[in-house]
Amino acid sequence: MDVLDRRLVAALQVSPRASWGEIGRAVGEHERTVARRLQRLLTEGVVRVTAIYDDLRTGHGRPVHLDVQVRPGATSQVAKALADRPDTRSVYALTGVADLGCELVSPSRDALHHILSTEISAIDGVSQTQTQVVLHTFRTVAEWHAPYLTEQEVAELRPAPPPEGLPDEEGLSPLEQEIAELLAADGRIAFTAVAERLDVSVPTARRRVTSLIERRLLLPRAEVEPALLGLEVEAMLWLKVRPYGLDRVGQRLAGHPNVRYCAATSGTHSLIVQVVAAHEADLYRFMTGVVGSLDEVTDSDLTLITRAYKRGHLHKSGLLTLEKTP
């Protein structure tokens, strides 16, 4: 992708459901240019627009992160077995002690026990796992965009902030659940298509889709491999943070442009951070200049992501993203 492609993808990440005209006005390009370039990237599978649940608030389950050690030579087959599970959101290969990282969403505590004690351990090639349960999410990948836009351009595209005092848990109605499934399959599906598929009026479809997004129960997401955006280095950073400083550190890191994901978890480390950078030297400066300045951080463990097999419930084929399948 050239510089303009990357700017347009960044704009799509900020507002995945924005019209081509809205993106064009924000970044100063003609609507036809925006449509031609982004439609090509979408058709080729470079970018996919989907939507992910706020699992904790919608009651869909508990997100957990697994570090998986595998038998030598079994990385690919274990990664495929994990990626083929409908409850896994992301699967990627790592450097360091763990060979694979995996994020999955368990519907209940009992289900998580069964998944970990029976299903994951039964995968041929798995030798050991370590589990961290997400307690609080400071930034989701759906809220990150590549750093190629000005603050003014982002402000023109960014949706209105969510209302304060959102409930910790808010279930979906049957109709909302059906709408959410359509958006998960195609995050840019038109209101008219939603209305036709679900046999409701267009105003009803528009109102319900807008409500889901404004209440942040569903987060539209433009998925693209960071390497295609010139961000060749991707890392998972595990931090030990003093309890009194956990919220401050989480919020500060979540606001950094190189941080794609940040969450507090259970386990030996209290914070997981996914970081992207153009070069190893940039990652070094992030570690020394950003993380190193946080007195509440007492220890860190840094591993690199070498390959993604699945992200946001979407399978990968090299650097391309496949369409979501049931």
pLDDT tens per residue, range 118-152: 999 999 999 999 999 999 999 999 999 999 999 99
- Please, which pLDDT band fits residue 158 given cuts at 50, 70 and 90? confident
Asked whether the predicted pLDDT for residue 277 surpasses 60, the reply is yes
Q: Which two tokens stand for residue 22?
A: 């809205």
The C-alpha atoms of residue 323 and residue 224 are separated, in whole angstroms, by 12
The residue-averaged pLDDT of 256-279 equals 96
Asked if 251 contacts 143 with a C-beta cutoff of 8 angstroms, the reply is no
Mean pLDDT of 257-286: 96
Q: Cα separation of 87 and 13, whole Å?
A: 24
Q: What is the pLDDT of residue 19?
A: 96
Assess contact for 122 and 85: CB atoms under 8 A: no
What is the tens place of the pLDDT at every residue in 16-43?
Answer: 999 999 999 999 999 999 999 999 999 9
pLDDT-derived band at 161, boundaries 50, 70, 90: confident
User: How much is the pLDDT for 163?
Assistant: 66
pLDDT (0 to 100) of residue 102:
96
Residue 166 has pLDDT above 80, yes or no: no
Task: Supply the pLDDT for residue 298.
Answer: 96
| Tens digit of each residue's pLDDT (9 = 90 or more) over 39-70 | 999 999 999 999 999 888 888 898 999 999 99
Hey, is 33 helix, strand or coil?
Answer: helix
Contacts with 253 (C-beta within 8 Å, 6 or more apart), sequence order = 138, 259, 262, 271, 273, 290, 291
Name beta bridge partners: 280: none
Reply yes or no on whether the pLDDT at 325 is more than 60: no
For the chain, the average pLDDT equals 94
pLDDT band at 160 (very low <50, low <70, confident <90, very high): confident
Given a cut of 70, whether residue 225 has pLDDT beyond it is yes
* Residue 164 clears pLDDT 80, i.e. is over it: no
Average pLDDT for residues 286-299, to the nearest whole number?
A: 96
Q: Taking Cα atoms as reference points, which of 203, 197, 206 lies closest to residue 17?
A: 206
